[in-house]
Homo-oligomer: A and B are copies of this chain.
Amino acid sequence: MNYPVQIEKLINLFAKLPGIGHKTAERIVFHILSEPIEYSQELSKILQNLKRDLKKCKICGNYSEKDICEICSDENRDKTKICVVEDPRDLYIIENLKIYNGLYHILFGLISPIDGISPEMLNIDSLINRVTDNVKEIIFAFSPTAEAETTSFYISKLLKDKNLKITKLAYGLPVGSNIRYADIVTLTRSFLNREVIS
């Protein structure tokens, strides 16, 4: 015996989301059923128009209600720097540090042969095309993984003829951590990249 067909369909749709297994999807659907009708209707309304309301910015790729996003169209931004991120969420994380006033570029993934993600599936071409003579620095702001190394290496090679500084986030000890509990790779990087005090 199965659940009514709408419930089954909804469970299957929710179970496709990342981090949500079949049991969690069941729990979600029965929770929605137990909520007042306004909840499911509001969810429905936003989902209905989501992909129409939000386009990808023609320059950086970030989701925006306009063709060109707020950051790319902001005249006060430093257009000599482009910070390259894996995912739109990473842009907001860096933006909220309030230490960077340059532009961004979103790749929507990282090169990962093991997961079948090749360079042409990512937003790399448009990055290369953006890098005109005005651009002086490309910052790779990726989580430290093998995929990030591969992607940085790949893009750096494509940009090698341009007169550019290419940087990436520093590896090192997390602030407040204890060196006795640091993993060997982090500690090695931290030692090799040691900072000059005076």
Contacts and interface: CB of A to CB of B under 8 A. Distances in A.
> Copies of this chain, how many?
2
Interface of A: 1-4, 6-7, 9-10, 13, 16-20, 24, 26-28, 30-34, 37, 39-54, 63-65, 87-89, 92, 95-96, 108
Nearest to A9: B46
B37 A17 contact: no
A50 B32 contact: yes
A17 B10 CA distance: 14
Nearest to A49: B6
B54 A44 contact: no
19 contacts: A3-B63, A3-B88, A4-B63, A6-B50, A13-B43, A13-B46, A19-B28, A30-B89, A32-B47, A32-B50, A33-B51, A37-B52, A40-B47, A40-B48, A40-B50, A41-B51, A44-B47, A47-B47, A48-B48
